[in-house]
Amino acid sequence: MSRLRKIKQFVISDHRYVFLATSFVAAVGIWFSLQRRSAMSFLRGAYTVEVAMYWFLMAWLALSAVALVWKLTHWKGDAYQRTSPFTKPAAKAALRLGSYAVCAVTAALFVDRAVMGFLSVVSDSLSHDKNPSDFLSSIVYMLDKSYGIIGQGILTTVGLSVFGTLIAFVLAILLVFLRIQQVDRCDNDAVRFFKTFGTAFAKVYSTVVRGTPMMVQGMLIYFAGFGLLRNSGMTVSEIGKVWSTFVAGLVTISLNSTAYMMEVLRGGIEAVDPGQNEAARSLGLSQWQAMIKVVFPQGIKNAIPALSNELVVNIKDSSVLSVIGVFDLMFATKTVVGIYFKQVELYVVAALCYLCLTMVASWLLGKFAQRLSVEPQPLTSVSDMNATVGTVAGTGSSEYSLDKKKAR
């Protein structure tokens, strides 16, 4: 039996918890009944029914108060169970049916006041010739007039985040190999030089990128690229076809995420048991072969939760690229703000859009992690990368475990 079903059975089996839960529901229903009816209210012509619903909820609150007082006055020992009329089997059955009725009445009032009220606001806002002064009506009106601009901004944000994260993942794989290289005794001077230079380059790249804001990086990348193309003799229109703000934004997100994903991958690789690498080397594999075939497949699985978290971060951080003219969700919001001069309403819409995008991305990434048998717990910071959750290195569940290699 699931945990939710157990809790539900426990709550229903004890009338005290029935009163506790449904009293709150009844209070919410009373609050809805006191709200003004909308033009689309289906209870507008049923005043008697609505009054009966109101007094039914009030009677339930009064009954709950009586049960509470009885409990407070008979709390010693089993006095409450012996003397309370609410503990009788017939009373328990009636209370259970009454709790269902309370939930049904509250749901009807919620639909009548909240749902139908919202539909009424939408219908009224769409019929206006100018922007209404009411908060919700103004939001509906501006969305109806500017949904194309907002939609284009959302598509740009999604495109930048998804493609930027994928490109960064490929670059991070290349850089993490440079970052973790160690000089071997059998390496010649050229190999030693390239390993040393590659490790130093990866360290410097990670330090510089993670130590500067993405907004500054975006401005430097865009204007530096524009200046180089300008000096080559290209006109502004020709530069716009090659080096658009979208391309500059994509480069910025890719290079920025590469540094963070490289450190996450390094943490996942370092979480692998060193004995795996030593065993691979003892079997005759080179350092490169041991990394490719044994250590790295396990390390990348360890780092999947943090790697997937980077997509969610990019969805939010892409908003700073509006400073270079990238037509993302934030730039689209600022454009609509300049048309209607309504700041709070439109930024609330932008916040809800970002929230929906991040929630959808988190849900999809959670499903992806479950398919790979990885605990979907994204990390909160790069400093926690050594605590990545994944397959324990060296266990038989790894596809690249040494036991399977020996069996071959």
Q: What is the mean pLDDT of the chain?
A: 81
Q: Which residue's structure tokens are 């658009």?
A: 244
What's the Cα-to-Cα distance from 269 to each of 374, 389, 390, 395, rounded to whole Å?
15, 12, 11, 15
CB atoms within 10 A of CB 170: 12
Residue 180's pLDDT is: 77
- pLDDT of 187 > 80? The answer is no
Q: Which residues of 64-75 are buried (b: 16+ CB within 10 A; e: fewer)?
A: beebeebeeeee
How far apart CA 370 and CA 389 sit, in angstroms, is 13
How far apart CA 361 and CA 261 sit, in angstroms, is 17
Choice between 291 and 255, residue whose per-residue pLDDT is larger: 255
Q: Is 199 exposed, middle or buried (0-12, 13-18, 19+ CB in 10 A)?
A: middle
How far apart CA 336 and CA 353 sit, in angstroms, is 15
- pLDDT of 383 > 60? The answer is no
At residue 80 the predicted structure's pLDDT band, cuts being 50, 70 and 90, is low
At residue 227 the predicted structure's pLDDT band, cuts being 50, 70 and 90, is very high
- pLDDT of 158 > 50? The answer is yes
Residue 357's pLDDT is: 94
How far apart CA 191 and CA 184 sit, in angstroms, is 9
Residue 374's pLDDT is: 58
CA 117 to chain centre: 29
Choice between 150 and 387, residue whose per-residue pLDDT is larger: 150
Q: What is the pTM of this model?
A: 0.74
**What phi and psi values does residue 394 have, to the nearest 5 degrees?**
90, -5
- pLDDT of 390 > 90? The answer is no
How far apart CA 400 and CA 295 sit, in angstroms, is 8
Highest mean pLDDT among 59-63, 132-136, 293-297: 59-63
How far apart CA 199 and CA 209 sit, in angstroms, is 16
- pLDDT of 175 > 60? The answer is yes
Q: Which residue's structure tokens are 């009454």?
A: 98
pLDDT, tens only, 369-379: 777 665 544 43
CB atoms within 10 A of CB 59: 13
Residue 126's pLDDT is: 84
At residue 84 the predicted structure's pLDDT band, cuts being 50, 70 and 90, is confident
Choice between 401 and 114, residue whose per-residue pLDDT is larger: 114
What's the Cα-to-Cα distance from 237 to each of 20, 189, 231, 241, 269, rounded to whole Å?
69, 49, 14, 7, 46
Residue among 82, 79, 96 nearest 14 (CA): 96
Residue 258's pLDDT is: 93
CB atoms within 10 A of CB 254: 21
Q: Which residue's structure tokens are 């749901």?
A: 107
- pLDDT of 47 > 60? The answer is yes
> Are the CB atoms for 269 and 299 separated by under 8 Å?
yes
pLDDT, tens only, 29-39: 999 999 988 88
How far apart CA 264 and CA 307 sit, in angstroms, is 7
Tell me which of 4-8, 160-164, 242-246 is least confident: 4-8
Mean pLDDT within 86-91: 78
All domains of the chain in start order, with CATH: 3-127 (no CATH), 139-407 (1.10.3720.10)
